[in-house]
């Protein structure tokens, strides 16, 4: 068993196993997300909508009567709030949002209809 023989094939096998692990990680992460989670790829204040500011990994709501703070960059992370509203835009496209994103959509999307889901 020379060094060439010992190493033959182990490199590719190793990286394939790593890829499998990565994939499994990804699947676990996706499965952990609620199926009814808001699809928007950034966070909002659950009450005020797109009022967040973030710096240095912290995040806060800028509404004057809101005391919400997060010690992570909520603004830069996918929204994981449960969907509570259906927003239908002027073209009839519909998408389900959480409280905060529905508030934002109501203010931002012209002609949008926002319907509570429950
Ligand atoms: Zn707020
Ligand atoms: Zn949301």
| Proximal ligand: closest to the CA of 60 | 1
Question: 9 alpha carbon to ligand 1 midpoint, in Å?
Answer: 56
Report how far residue 62's alpha carbon sits from residue 45's, in angstroms, rounded to the nearest whole number: 9
pTM exceeds cut of 0.85? no
- The DSSP bridge partners found for residue 87 are 95, 114
Element (H, E) at 3: helix 3-7
Give one DSSP letter per residue of 24-74, joined into a string: HHHHHHHHHS-TTB---SS--BTTTBS-EEEETTEEEE--TT---EESS-G
| Proximal ligand: closest to the CA of 84 | 2
Report how far residue 48's alpha carbon sits from residue 51's, in angstroms, rounded to the nearest whole number: 6
Confidence of residue 28 (pLDDT cuts 50, 70, 90): low
What would the pLDDT profile of 70-87 be if each residue is shown by its tens digit?
999 999 999 989 999 999
- What pLDDT score does 52 carry? 96
Report how far residue 20's alpha carbon sits from residue 37's, in angstroms, rounded to the nearest whole number: 26
């Amino acid at each position: 068993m020379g060094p060439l023989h010992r190493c033959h094939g182990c490199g590719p096998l190793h990286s394939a196993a790593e890829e499998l692990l990565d994939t499994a990680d990804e699947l676990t992460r996706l499965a952990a997300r609620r199926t009814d989670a808001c699809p928007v790829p950034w966070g909002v204040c659950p009450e005020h909508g797109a009022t967040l500011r973030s710096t240095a990994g912290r995040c806060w709501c800028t509404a004057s009567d809101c005391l919400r703070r997060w010690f992570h960059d909520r603004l830069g992370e996918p929204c994981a709030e449960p969907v509570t509203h259906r927003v239908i835009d002027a073209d009839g496209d519909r998408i389900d949002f959480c409280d905060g994103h529905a508030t934002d959509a109501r203010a931002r999307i012209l002609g949008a209809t926002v319907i509570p889901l429950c």
